[in-house]
Amino acid sequence: MNFEAFKKAVLAEPSSEAPEIMAKAASDPECAAFLARVQAMELKLSAAMSVPVPPSLTGEMPDIEALAEAREVGRMSTADFKEAVLAEPHRETPEILEKVASDPECAAFLARVKAMELRLSAAMSVPVPPSLTGDMPDIEALAEAREVGREGNVVAFPGKPTESRGSSMYRWPAFASLAAAVALVAVFVLRPPAEIIDPDGEALAAEVFDHIEHELGFMSPASVAVDDGMFSAALQPAGVNMTRNDAPGLVSYAKNCVIDGESVPHLVVQGKNGPVTVLILPHKDLKAPVSYSRDGLEGVLLPVGESGSIAIIGRDAASVDAVREMADSNLRFST
């Protein structure tokens, strides 16, 4: 071992007593002096690095449960809470719920974010043009008009985003919507409850609950109503004609959803005892009213007209009953 190799080994492991190190130090005074200096330096280094330990980490071990309570290790921080809420405002994990229950600031933050979501949803629900609502167009005529995917086809394109697309836009004949309006005139009224058990109703109720659990965040108190355009856009795909005045309360959320392949208007109505979700199910027949509760939600499904039904779901029976009463006495809608 030469001197350079010796120095390298000693600086890497000053306390090493490897045979090569010891033999070199014994046979080479320069190496022995170097080793002595490094070991002296080690003592100073060790002393300098041994910072005082705070009293909380010396003496007897603390009560670990008290320590856990005080430290909040593993609990969601306020910053993490806000990040999670801003990413998924309607997600209600145990951590989120615990944080909301224990931290008023976080509870207030969540409430404001949910209020923001209503405004965001309203702003993003742009009106749908007539060509994309109502009856489906003849797809072969549309394909002919659109010429999609034909090589070399260039559809006229405007310079400004809001200009008309001219001949490139397919507009189905006006008589189609007129015919639809004439055909859809049957008025549905609520039928009186029947005293029979309807096993299909239970299954439908379960399906409805499955659906709304993903959109529970919209079932929040709100004072701003959706506008007529959003309201009708939610109802039209299901072939339901109904105005906001027909609804049993202020409608703060309206969206078209699909349940079991059928188009279903999904409304949030601000009832006198709190917000409820109302799903209009024009194609789901019920023999009798069905009451259903699950996961802190209460609901009722009511037969409507000859072949439809509505579902009213809230966070408690009082909110559901309030809207149900109004629905029983006021609701009329036609499809």
Partner 1 sequence: MSQAAKADLERKRRYDRLVGAHRADLFRYAYWLNGDAALAEDVVQDAMVRAWRSLDNLREDAAAKPWLLTIVRRENARFFERKRHETVDIDELVGAPTLQISSEDSTDQDDLHKAIGELEPDYREPLVLQVVLGHSTKEIADIMGLTNGAVLTRLHRARKKLIENFDLGEPEAD
Q: 248 by DSSP, 3-state: which? A: coil
Cα first-last separation, the chain: 97
- State which residue, 31 or 226, has the beta carbon closest to partner 1: 226
276 CB contacts (<8 Å, ≥6 apart)? 219, 268, 269, 312, 313, 314, 319, 320, 322, 323
Tell me which residues touch partner 1 (CB under 8 A): 78-79, 82-84, 86-89, 108-109, 112-113, 115-117, 119-129, 131-133, 136, 139, 142-143, 146, 148-149, 154-155, 157-158, 160-165, 168-170, 214-215, 224-225, 227-230, 233, 236-237, 255-258, 261-263
Q: What 3-state class would DSSP assign to 197? A: coil
Look at residue 303 and give its three-state secondary structure: strand
Minimum Å gap between C-beta 238 and partner 1 is: 8
Closest CB 241 distance from partner 1, rounded Å: 16
Residue closer to partner 1 by CB (options 121, 273) is 121
Q: Which letter does DSSP use for residue 249 in this model?
A: S
User: For partner 1, which is the closer residue by CB, 33 or 169?
Assistant: 169
Closest alpha carbon to 200 in 290, 311, 313, 304: 290
| Smallest distance, partner 1 to C-beta of residue 265, A | 11
Nearer to partner 1, 238 or 300 (CB): 238
Shortest gap between Cβ of 23 and partner 1 (angstroms)?
Answer: 57
Is beta strand 332-334 parallel, antiparallel or unpaired with respect to 187-189?
antiparallel
Nearer to partner 1, 69 or 83 (CB): 83
Is the CB of 28 or the CB of 285 nearer to partner 1? 285
Residue 253 and residue 115: Cα distance in Å, rounded? 12
What SS3 class is residue 155?
coil
Amino acid letter at 102?
Answer: S
**In the complex, least distance from residue 204 CB atom to partner 1, rounded to whole angstroms:** 17
Locate 166 and state its tokens.
Answer: 């001219």
Minimum distance between the CB of residue 307 and partner 1, rounded to whole angstroms?
Answer: 17
Cβ-contact 265, 208 below 8 angstroms? no
Q: How far is the CB of 212 from partner 1 (least distance, A)?
A: 10
Residues 6 or more apart whose CB falls under 8 angstroms from that of 281 comprise 204, 208, 259, 262, 264, 301, 308, 309, 310, 311
Q: How far is the CB of 126 from partner 1 (least distance, A)?
A: 5
3-state helix vs strand vs coil in the chain, percent to 5 = 50, 15, 35
